[in-house]
């Protein structure tokens, strides 16, 4: 099987940021969260908040969206074009996507791509609260092994250095930057 990170790898950009900007145009009420986002972004940059804590504050805007499922369908109708062409050419039935992005956000493209297994962060779509750990770094390995305890990963693809623990599980790993793939030198943890 091949395993892929989503944002910056299969998807050109960050789907969470793109969704936020898409919804902001459609629901200006979300602007009320901007002051707290700016303040807490500073705290996050200073290391006073974990990534999970920061994301839970960020995702508070979800409470302002009355019909998130309809909005997600509209978002993906517009943004599915950002799926990387190189991925579409090589996708297989047994591909796995593993991402720190919310599961509810990636469910539509995963289904459209025919992805059999999506492993992503579990976030309450109404409150923005995580119902598990942020699916990043070593947590990706834990979540992957919970589903596939003995699976062999032929190839792993990611655009993030934080995915080194997943890359170490694969026979081969590739680093994706702006749609260009290079072999990941696992021993050094660099591309």
Q: What is the pTM of this model?
A: 0.92
SS3 label, residue 106 = helix
Residue 82 C-alpha from the chain's centroid: 14
Domains (range + CATH), the chain: 2-13+82-183 (3.40.50.1000), 17-75 (no CATH)
pLDDT of residue 187: 64
Cα-Cα-Cα-Cα dihedral of 104, 152, 145, 165, to 10°? -90
Cα-Cα-Cα-Cα dihedral of 63, 67, 68, 73, to 10°? -160
| pLDDT tens for the 191 residues of the chain, in order | 999 999 999 999 999 999 999 999 999 999 999 999 999 999 999 999 999 999 999 999 999 999 999 999 999 999 999 999 999 999 999 999 999 999 999 999 999 999 989 999 999 999 999 999 999 999 999 999 999 999 999 999 999 999 999 999 999 999 999 888 999 987 644 44
146: tokens are 């919970």
């Amino acid at each position: 099987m091949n395993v892929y990170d989503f944002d910056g790898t299969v998807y050109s950009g960050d789907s969470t940021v793109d969704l936020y900007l898409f919804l902001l145009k459609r629901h200006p009420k979300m602007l009320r969260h901007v002051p707290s986002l700016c303040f807490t972004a500073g705290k996050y940059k200073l290391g006073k908040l974990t990534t999970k804590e920061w994301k839970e504050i960020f995702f508070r805007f979800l409470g302002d969206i009355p019909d998130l499922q309809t909005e997600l369908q509209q978002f993906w109708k517009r943004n599915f074009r950002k799926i990387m062409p190189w991925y579409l050419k090589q996708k297989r039935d047994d591909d796995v996507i593993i991402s720190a992005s919310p599961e509810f956000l990636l469910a539509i493209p995963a289904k459209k791509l025919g992805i059999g297994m999506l492993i992503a962060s579990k976030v309450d779509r109404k409150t923005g609260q995580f119902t598990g750990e942020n699916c990043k770094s070593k947590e990706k390995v834990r979540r992957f092994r919970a589903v596939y305890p003995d699976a062999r990963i032929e190839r792993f693809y990611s655009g993030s250095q934080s995915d080194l623990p997943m890359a170490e599980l694969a026979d081969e790993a590739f680093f994706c930057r702006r749609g260009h793939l290079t072999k990941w030198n696992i021993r050094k943890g660099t591309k």
